[in-house]
Structure 1
């Protein structure tokens, strides 16, 4: 068998394998990278978070806190995930300003959506923090189920 026919055979086999795998598992093989998580997170941020925290993540004075270089955003992942899942109903002081608007729970978002949006926020607006994985969100969700 020549090289050209071998390549065609191999390519056909790979396409068939992927089609069968996707059919049997209802989803294609997909690897999530930080870049794809950030891109998906930006969509969630735009649709869910932007109205309160603004396009620049600067928040609204005395109402909705900024998401820029705050201990809430850059700090403990579990605390941040819990805030998104359960909401936040406390006055919070950030950089000398008090913010008092209640944040509703966003437990309607999937673990993946929460991980993506938090990864987006932790990697945007001048923030530099580690990513958040859907498995981390799932663990927190299980702990704090209502």
Structure 2
């Protein structure tokens, strides 16, 4: 035979509440805590508007510098992995792009290198064995931009190359 107290313990378990609080009291505390947390985080996300400032006036830039900048992205995408970020190249594999007659000299030869590729070349007494693929997939403007970038960076100070000069070389191909 099961006693009355045992019947309740079978159904409710052996737990006896320590206080006489209603069953919803603990849940109410959780609800209040959750509402406070939500209110706090939503207020924390409010930002004050930033006042606009006057634009800083740019220094005048020479045309050769303006013309060189578009080629930087093309250089990073197509040339950097072989010729390095500073144009130093890799000894014995990829020639440097700074201070050589190949870069600072004859424009048509340099344009031809991009249009036709190059391999097994000796530059200033140093042999370079790596194959440079043709970059004839670049537009005339892109080739002019990247070569102008190279000829005006890495310590080079050679004149810019125009898209018309590239187009003329491409026509001779």
Q: TM-score range by the shorter chain?
A: 0.7 to 0.9
Q: Normalized against structure 1, the TM-score is what? A: 0.73
Task: Give 5+ residue unaligned stretches, structure 1.
Answer: 1-32
1:132 corresponding residue in structure 2? 161
Count of aligned positions? 111
1:96 aligns with 2:125: yes
Match of 1:36 among 66, 76, 81: 66
Provide the secondary structure at the position in 2 that maps to 1:68: coil
TM-superposed deviation, 1:45: 0.4
More helix, by proportion: 1
Alpha-carbon distance between aligned partners in 2 of 1:97 and 1:87, rounded to the nearest angstrom: 18
Provide the secondary structure at the position in 2 that maps to 1:93: strand
Provide the secondary structure at the position in 1 that maps to 2:79: helix
1:118 aligns with 2:129: no
Higher RCO (CA 8 Å, separation ≥ 6 residues)? 1
Task: Give 5+ residue unaligned stretches, structure 2.
Answer: 1-62
1:72 corresponding residue in structure 2? 102
1:10 corresponding residue in structure 2? none
1:71-108 per-residue CA deviation (whole Å, 9 max, x = no partner) reads 1101110010010001002x222343211101000000
Alpha-carbon distance between aligned partners in 2 of 1:95 and 1:142, rounded to the nearest angstrom: 29
- Quote the RMSD (CA, aligned, Å): 1.0
1:53 corresponding residue in structure 2? 83
TM-superposed deviation, 1:61: 1.2
1:108 corresponding residue in structure 2? 137
Q: Normalized against structure 2, the TM-score is what? A: 0.62
Alpha-carbon distance between aligned partners in 2 of 1:75 and 1:95, rounded to the nearest angstrom: 13
TM-superposed deviation, 1:35: 2.6
Provide the secondary structure at the position in 2 that maps to 1:80: helix
TM-superposed deviation, 1:60: 0.7
Larger Rg: 2
